[in-house]
Amino acid sequence: MRKNILDNKKITILENTAVKDITHNKTNNNITLSQNDQRVSSKYVIVCDTSESSLVKFVCNDVEKINYNQTSLIISAEGTFTASSAVQHFTKYGVLALLPHSSKTASLVMTIKDEFLSEFIIDDSLNDQNIVGLFKNYSEKLSLKSLVGQYSMQTSRAKSLLRNNVILFGNSSHLIHTIGAQGYNLALRNVEAFIEYFSEKQIKDNNSLNKLVNKIDQDRHDVFDNIDFVLSMFLNDSPISKLLSKSIITSLKLYPGLKNKFLKKIIGLEKYPYLSAETI
């Protein structure tokens, strides 16, 4: 992909630089970069950066921070896997995911409650026995190769996405929990919305841009609601949550059609058949 972008003469890449300042006049946003005070002017700016970006702060000073008191571990593994068949499993320790790259290699993504973290990793040393034990039903001869990444599960949600034709997108708009690849599927839908907006032969005014942003924002909040619901039901230790989650799981086991519909909703595949598998 990088090669295709570099070869595209319509795309200019400015590397090893950062945003120093942004101003806005009647027609353009003017961005000053740190490298040699380079300037970029454009009517539209799509920001896909970290939540701490100066461009994010220009658009929105009100960003909700959420600390789940969990830590995500990304581990490379080898074993015998069903290619193209991912698994997500809820346990008392947190959310586990197995993502095969082939029939012999996979990534394990473990989002572990901090109170249990020492049972799986101390410093950079993985507890192979405990980790393999959690995934033993999903792979034969599973062996861990290396710890690829480790980060605290702290997320953010910008309260607004648009100012002076500067639009927050992706990680600039939100950092969300790893439940069900929601972030990836949401990003695909956001890209689809952008493509539709810029390809349509219509007058691009503030009203049409607001409609685009409202569509993206509504989609975000649907995902937030899904994530909050799943976490409150399956990772909350309160007696009421445990009772409700047990009732939901029992119902899903009894009605396969309801199970598929429920899973498609919480993963973010509902209404998007090109992202869906035939069965989950």
List the pLDDT tens digit at each of the 280 positions of the chain.
778 888 888 888 888 888 889 999 888 999 999 888 889 999 989 998 888 888 999 999 899 998 989 999 999 999 988 867 788 888 889 889 898 998 899 999 999 999 999 999 988 899 999 999 999 888 888 999 999 999 998 889 999 999 999 999 888 999 887 776 677 778 888 888 888 888 876 666 667 888 889 999 998 998 888 888 777 776 666 777 667 767 776 776 777 777 777 767 666 666 655 554 443 3
List, in sequence order, every residue forming a beta bridge with 89; answer none if it has no partner.
Answer: 96
- Measure the CA–CA gap between 8 and 28, rounded to whole angstroms: 24
Task: Identify whether residues 123 and 211 lie together within a single domain.
Answer: no
Are 72 and 106 part of one and the same domain? yes
Specify whether 150 is located in the same domain as 185.
no
* Segment 202-210 long-range contacts (CB within 8 Å, at least 24 positions apart): 209/162, 209/165, 209/167, 210/162
Tell me the C-alpha distance between 50 and 174, whole Å: 9
Residues 191 and 256 in one domain: yes
Same domain, 192 and 275: yes
- Of 120, 154, 188, the residue at which a domain comes to its end is 154
In a domain? residue 46? no
Same domain, 187 and 275: yes
Q: The pTM is what? A: 0.76
Residue 275 and residue 206 share a domain = yes
Domains in the chain: how many in total?
A: 2
Quick check: is 11 in a domain?
A: no
> Do 132 and 183 belong to one domain?
no
Domain boundary among 139, 154, 169: 154
Range(s) of the domain holding residue 77: 67-154
Do the domain assignments include residue 101?
Answer: yes
For residues 190 and 225, membership in a common domain is answered with yes
CA-wise closest residue to 78 among 153, 170, 13, 140: 140
Q: Which two tokens stand for residue 19?
A: 């945003």
Q: Write the CA distances from 120 to 71, 75, 108, 115, integer angstroms.
A: 11, 11, 13, 11
